[in-house]
Chains A and B, each alone.
Chain A
Amino acid sequence: MFPKPIEKSSAGVRTAYKAMLPVALLIWLMPLLAIMVFSVKPGADFTTGNYWGIPSSFNLFENYGKVFFESDMPRYLLNSLLITVPTVIGCMILSAMTGFALGIYRFRSNLWIFFMFVAGNFVPFQILMVPVRDLTLDMGLYNTIAGLVLFHVAFQTGFCTLFMRNFIRALPFPLIEAARVEGVAEWRIFLYVVLPLMKPALAAMAVLIFTFIWNDFFWAIVLTQGVETQPVTAGITSFNAQYRAAYHLMSAGSIVAALPPVLMFFLMQKHFIAGLTLGAVK
């Protein structure tokens, strides 16, 4: 079931492992490396067929300069931020409350409501494309950042509730009982007892949701159009001219677009790992 620690293998296997690891890593990273190399190549390299070779000239500053100063990329990045941050905050607020309600209170159909949240996660979101598009159009939210945020909050809350409810369930119940004995109001219990304990889980969830929403492409192209509202994932294609794909600029743009979630992960790594391992809270 569990992989045998590599130290216990024979010397031959260990050597082979060490030799294969870099190879596997290289193959694994190949697409990413290709994009990185492409992002510093001049556009002509694509036309001359120089896909994998050394760049014919080193255009790091030119390409990234174009991305930042001669395209709508900064606007797209801002849109992404305006979509992602409110979504993350909205999801955290809603799911902390639903998680608290479903995790602490025992009432009839508690489990059914919980199942409904979970079941939402099993709906393949592509089949919602047409109804959601029509809904946003009718509500006047089509092609607005607010529309995209509302939809994301609604759809992500299901997953977040599952996450939060299970986390709160794992908290020692006597903590809450003790607070009740002290006569603390329920909303104060939520605010001053449960919420501080949920911090690692909230942080972990924030990182996850941030990544999900930032990387969302599907809803971005379904619900928004154009530079005023589209996030960066959908905006990368704007480097394409009418007839021609500018692969070098798209590569540079992709790298820029991928940086925030990566940064988010490294900055929040402590919380992220804490969130995953904090099964037992003291």
Chain B
Amino acid sequence: MKPKKKKNTKTLKGRYSMRSILKATVASLGLLSLATTGALADAHGEKLTGTLKISSDMSNPAPRAVMEGMVERFGEMHPDLDIELTVTDREAWKTQIRNVLSANPPDVANWYAANRMRPYVDAGLFMDISDVWEDESMEALASTKGAMTLDGKQWGVPYTYYQWGVYYRKDIYEELGLEEPKTFEEMKANCQKILDAGKKCYTIGTKFLWTAGGWFDYLNMRTNGYQFHADLMAGKHDWDSPEVRQTFANWRELLDMGAFIDNHTSYSWQESLPFLVSGDAAAILKGNFAVAPLREAGLDDDKLDFYQFPAIDEDIELAEDAPTDTFHIPAGAENPEAAKAFLRFVVSADNQTLINNGDNLGQLPVNANSSVDDDKFLKEGFEMLSSNSPGGVAQFFDRDAPAEMAKVGMEGLQEFMVKPDNLDKILARLDKAAKRIYDK
């Protein structure tokens, strides 16, 4: 079956009567199938009919091909199901989703995990799909379950994520006789040696702010733990608190050493990479998407390596940033049975292996039973997230905090990196903004 592609999300106005008939049919068929195939709980054994409307934001070429491929394969498994796929521009979707979910809800929609789904969960626009997660097979998704859980219920399934961590110049570390640090003390000691050798420890480009968010995420999660960090992002803690101040104090130690490259406010993240390539800086804290350009620039696996951000407080469980992209079922979905089947299909081990391989998304599968491409960084990342991230998985500063708060926050972080003495003013400003934004 060929998936129908539709761009315009505002159509089908005059079809409500038709729909209600359809709805009734689907409902009765759903009951029927439940009754007849109750024993056959296998996802592939269900007989799905009706229309499955999917609104996707996977608009970039590779993700789009992945989405269309999934629809095609799911359609082959369920020949009686009519699948309508609407692909919306990824950025535009961020402003359209509320409108679409409330006015003309599809059966499946793309979004992001954790706090980013909070507004739609609170507004009752996402369906509680905890029943999908009760299935045994979902245990393989343990690493992201926390990110899909709000108020003790699950509101969607993930389909891809990628790790963050420190990508460093292995050859420089070897030349200077350094080891991958396990603690903050080792990290600082390494850095001092790198500085003594006339290089900078970390490259960063904060022109577009968000890169500083990565540093704060890690420093705060290592200093105060995942839960505190999540609560801070959700507006449940004050910024001007001893905990947050400790995070900034740790950060300041690095700043005072001169660990970061100079003039980082004038570079984008891509413009900060040349420092790593030339060897003027030894490492970068970044998501796995940095690997591709660095490899293109000539850093092969002998020169580039990866380590997990080291522990600062040993009593605190390690937690990672791993931005997760998700599928949800809108509360107004008309064919939830088919939608749930689609979600189960998306997270199945085979599909996860396929869509996340190097030819497709090139990221990490969310299912622990999936296999990862034979790629050093994907393997290390998969290993790290599947087994060495007991504290939880955060989504990244600008996904965990509301958009408005994230902007003010990241401006503050950038300012702190340049003028650490302004910390008091920055924290006061963030608290003031938080009061307004979280409506305390």
Chain A positions within 8 Å of B, measured between CB atoms, are 42-44, 46-49, 71, 137, 142-143, 225-226, 228-229, 238, 241-245
With beta carbons under 8 angstroms apart, the residue of A46, A47, A225, A229 that contacts B88 is: A225
Max count, chain B CB within 10 A of own CB: residue among A42, A226, A238, A245: A226
With beta carbons under 8 angstroms apart, the residue of A225, A226, A238, A244 that contacts B293 is: A244
- The answer on a CB contact under 8 Å between B7 and A143 is yes
Name the residue on A nearest B276 (C-beta). A47
- The answer on a CB contact under 8 Å between B89 and A47 is no
- The answer on a CB contact under 8 Å between B278 and A143 is no
B181 at the interface (CB under 8 A from A): no
For the complex, give the distance between the alpha carbons of A46 and B89 in Å: 26
- The answer on a CB contact under 8 Å between B287 and A47 is no
For the complex, give the distance between the alpha carbons of A242 and B91 in Å: 10
Chain B positions within 8 Å of A, measured between CB atoms, are 7-8, 10, 59-63, 87-90, 92, 270, 273-275, 277-278, 287, 289, 292-294, 296-298
- The answer on a CB contact under 8 Å between A137 and B297 is no
For the complex, give the distance between the alpha carbons of A42 and B293 in Å: 11
Given A137-B10, A142-B8, A242-B90; A44-B60 close (CB under 8 Å): no
Max count, chain B CB within 10 A of own CB: residue among A137, A142, A225, A228: A225
Name the residue on B nearest A229 (C-beta). B7
Given A225-B7, A225-B88; A43-B293 close (CB under 8 Å): yes
For the complex, give the distance between the alpha carbons of A152 and B261 in Å: 48
- The answer on a CB contact under 8 Å between A44 and B8 is no
For the complex, give the distance between the alpha carbons of A254 and B216 in Å: 37
Residues of chain B lying within 8 A (CB to CB) of residue A43: 293, 296
For the complex, give the distance between the alpha carbons of A228 and B64 in Å: 14
For the complex, give the distance between the alpha carbons of A270 and B145 in Å: 69
Q: A49-B275, A241-B62, A243-B287 are in contact. List 8 more A-B contacts (CB 8 A).
A: A47-B277, A49-B273, A225-B89, A225-B92, A238-B61, A242-B60, A244-B270, A244-B292
Residues of chain B lying within 8 A (CB to CB) of residue A142: 8, 10
- The answer on a CB contact under 8 Å between B273 and A47 is yes
For the complex, give the distance between the alpha carbons of A46 and B87 in Å: 31
Q: How far in angstroms is the closest Cβ of chain B from A148? A: 14
- The answer on a CB contact under 8 Å between A49 and B278 is yes
For the complex, give the distance between the alpha carbons of A228 and B88 in Å: 12
Given A44-B293, A143-B7; A241-B274 close (CB under 8 Å): no
For the complex, give the distance between the alpha carbons of A48 and B297 in Å: 6
Name the residue on A nearest B60 (C-beta). A242
Nearest 6 Cβ contacts at the A-B interface:
A49-B274, A47-B297, A243-B289, A44-B296, A47-B293, A44-B297
Residues of chain A lying within 8 A (CB to CB) of residue B60: 238, 241-242
For the complex, give the distance between the alpha carbons of A46 and B298 in Å: 12
For the complex, give the distance between the alpha carbons of A243 and B210 in Å: 12
- The answer on a CB contact under 8 Å between A226 and B294 is no
- The answer on a CB contact under 8 Å between B89 and A48 is no
Residues of chain A lying within 8 A (CB to CB) of residue B8: 142-143
- The answer on a CB contact under 8 Å between B297 and A226 is no
Name the residue on A nearest B296 (C-beta). A44
- The answer on a CB contact under 8 Å between A244 and B297 is no
- The answer on a CB contact under 8 Å between B277 and A48 is yes
Q: How far in angstroms is the closest Cβ of chain B from A88? A: 26
- The answer on a CB contact under 8 Å between A228 and B278 is no
For the complex, give the distance between the alpha carbons of A277 and B87 in Å: 51
With beta carbons under 8 angstroms apart, the residue of B62, B63, B274, B292 that contacts A48 is: B274
- The answer on a CB contact under 8 Å between B298 and A44 is yes
Residues of chain A lying within 8 A (CB to CB) of residue B87: 226
A-B contact pairs, 24 of them (CB 8 A): A42-B296, A43-B293, A44-B293, A44-B296, A44-B297, A44-B298, A46-B293, A47-B277, A47-B293, A47-B296, A47-B297, A142-B8, A142-B10, A143-B7, A225-B7, A225-B89, A226-B88, A226-B89, A241-B60, A242-B60, A242-B289, A244-B289, A244-B292, A245-B270
Residues of chain A lying within 8 A (CB to CB) of residue B296: 42-44, 47
Name the residue on B nearest A72 (C-beta). B61
Name the residue on A nearest B11 (C-beta). A140
For the complex, give the distance between the alpha carbons of A49 and B287 in Å: 20
Name the residue on B nearest A50 (C-beta). B274
Residues of chain B lying within 8 A (CB to CB) of residue A228: 7
Residues of chain A lying within 8 A (CB to CB) of residue B61: 71, 238
- The answer on a CB contact under 8 Å between A47 and B289 is no
Residues of chain A lying within 8 A (CB to CB) of residue B270: 46-47, 244-245
For the complex, give the distance between the alpha carbons of A44 and B300 in Å: 13
Max count, chain B CB within 10 A of own CB: residue among A44, A229, A245: A44
For the complex, give the distance between the alpha carbons of A49 and B62 in Å: 27
Residues of chain B lying within 8 A (CB to CB) of residue A225: 7, 88-89, 92
With beta carbons under 8 angstroms apart, the residue of B7, B62, B90, B294 that contacts A47 is: B294
Q: How far in angstroms is the closest Cβ of chain A from B284? A: 12
Name the residue on B nearest A242 (C-beta). B60
Name the residue on A nearest B162 (C-beta). A243
